[in-house]
Amino acid sequence: MMISQKITFFLLFNFLMGIFHIPAEAVTTKMFKVLDTCARYRLNQFDSFEALEKLKLEYSGQDESEANMIIKKYCSVFTPNENIEY
């Protein structure tokens, strides 16, 4: 009886660890994608409208300077170093 309780505990523990590990990994992946997109935008690998699309931000206007301001504000939240200019 004692062995079956240990096996049950072991299986339940591993199952719960597997469930809680997946959301933590997903957050890391999303954060990496945002940081990667902000860095690529800063390096001029794509324009502000492409960056808005990749960051999944909604902007219906055509003014590129306003789009730049939106990206600058959004990316500044994820990059606390104030020396980085977008």
Between 62 and 12, the more confident residue is 62
User: Is 70 exceeded by the pLDDT of residue 57?
Assistant: yes
**Average pLDDT rounded to a whole number, residues 40-56:** 92
Token code pair at residue 40: 């690529």
Rounded CA separation 57/85 (Å): 20
Helix (H, G, I), strand (E, B), or coil: what is residue 64?
Answer: helix
> Half-sphere exposure of 76 toward its Cβ, with a 13 Å CA cutoff?
11
DSSP state of 56: T
Neighbours of 51 (CB within 10 A): 23
The closest of 19, 4, 71, 69 to 40, measured between CA atoms, is 71
In the prediction, which pLDDT does 76 show?
A: 85
Rounded CA separation 2/85 (Å): 62
